[in-house]
């Protein structure tokens, strides 16, 4: 399977988002590591237009926030926040950053503020070298 990876503007926050296109399955996805916006486009199985063109379905998940946990070994875990951030979640994230194998200077947690239409840093700071 071949994948085409690129960077494009996030439809929600305007920052740089990861774009991934799978040539075998003809599916594409977008993930914003700043606001957590996710979008996936894939062809529907056994569905084509009268001309024989594939029919695609796009699903969008508005971002509620994102996180990055950077380990000292160089391996990172990046993902989107799927619910509203509670004080308990923020406290647990801060506690996880105290683990000896985690680099807290390179890790972060954000939230999307829909009223102000901007990303707010909750823990840490956004690295300059992320897309």
Question: Which pair of structure tokens corresponds to residue 52?
Answer: 């024989």
Strand, helix or coil for residue 45? strand
Q: 108 in a domain, yes or no?
A: yes
30 and 44 together in one domain: yes
46-103 pLDDT, tens digit per residue, is 888 888 888 999 999 999 999 999 998 888 999 999 988 899 999 999 999 999 999 9
20 and 34 together in one domain: yes
pLDDT at residue 131, as a whole number = 65
- What is the rounded distance in angstroms from the CA atom of residue 105 to the CA atom of residue 69? 10
pLDDT at residue 33, as a whole number = 96
79 and 113 together in one domain: yes
Q: 107 in a domain, yes or no?
A: yes
Domain, as residue range, for 107: 66-124
CB burial class (10 A; 0-12, 13-18, 19+) of residue 94? middle
pLDDT at residue 1, as a whole number = 63
- The residue among 61, 76, 105 that closes a domain is 61
23 and 42 together in one domain: yes
71 and 111 together in one domain: yes
Tell me the pTM: 0.89
Q: 18 in a domain, yes or no?
A: yes
Percent of the chain predicted with pLDDT > 70: 98
Mean pLDDT estimate for the chain: 92
- The residue among 18, 38, 61 that closes a domain is 61
7 and 56 together in one domain: yes
Q: How many domains does the chain have?
A: 2
């Amino acid at each position: 399977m071949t994948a085409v990876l690129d960077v494009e503007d996030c439809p929600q926050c305007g920052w740089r988002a990861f774009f991934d296109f799978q040539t075998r399955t003809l599916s594409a996805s977008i993930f914003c590591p700043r606001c957590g916006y996710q979008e996936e486009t894939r062809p529907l199985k056994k569905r084509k237009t009268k001309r024989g063109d594939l029919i695609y379905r796009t699903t969008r998940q508005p971002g509620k926030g994102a996180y990055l946990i950077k380990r000292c070994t160089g391996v990172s875990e990046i993902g989107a926040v799927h619910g509203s951030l509670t004080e308990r979640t923020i406290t647990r994230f801060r506690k996880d950053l105290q683990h000896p194998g985690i680099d807290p200077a390179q890790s972060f947690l954000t939230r999307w503020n829909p009223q102000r239409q901007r990303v707010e840093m909750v823990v840490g700071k956004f690295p300059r070298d992320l897309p």
